[in-house]
Structure 1
Amino acid sequence: MRAQLQNDPTAQEFSKQLLDLGNGDIEFHKDTQHITLPDNFCTVVETKNELIESVFPEIPNNYLNNDWLSNRAILAAKNVGIDLINYQIQQLLPGDLMSFKSIDATVEENDAVNFLIEFLNSLDISGM
């Protein structure tokens, strides 16, 4: 959908490849039980640093450009997998590191029964 919104001429082909992958319509190699992705499906990189540089080239010069940022994303199967990458990208940004205190209690005493401390401590909001 995003590729189609960008008027990318290859969006229809990529969408079909994604659907084939998701529907299990890509043939398994009998000996390895692996699939082979089409050559034009993605760009393979060797390291996380290479991935970051290929998706966010020259980020220290472009991080304030909302249009530039809105056209880039690194996706992962789970948030845990992306946390380290997000941290590495944040380290590339200029400026001073700032830490903020948080609280694991509710402001309203009556709300304490609705939001257990264990629940509040378990929250890991993306990008925070």
Structure 2
Amino acid sequence: MTEWKAICRVDDIPVLGARRVARTEGVDVAVFRNAENQVFALLDRCPHKGGPLSQGIVFGTSVACPLHNWAIGLDDGCAKAPDEGCTPRFAVKVADGVVHLDAHELATHAIDLPRPVAGPARHIALSPVPVGER
């Protein structure tokens, strides 16, 4: 039997936007809402370079990665052709206007994937420079 965890109300997710769900382990989960009020959940990590999908623009049943504009399917987590790759998806249930995620999936699904390191922090993580020399 699936144990569902209440996350937020559907109205708490912006139309054509997302809300992040923090996890104690692993990358956060992004919960998306499209123009038809459908709700989807994916790992907040583009399969290309690890961009934060929660910061992308939702269109139809896809989200555009904010880093390189890859279109990722909200229903399956897979990049649209000609791009390739998938990000893990999470089961979602909406009941009485409340969004629920599978508690077991939240605790265990894709927790072994590394956190993406992008942007200015990438250089700090790869080659530390003493604070006075930045």
TM range (shorter): under 0.3
How high is the TM-score relative to the length of structure 1? 0.22
Higher RCO by CA contacts (8 Å cutoff, separation 6 or greater)? 2
Richer in helix (by share): 1
- After TM superposition, the score normalised by the length of structure 2 is 0.21
Rg comparison, structure with higher value: 1
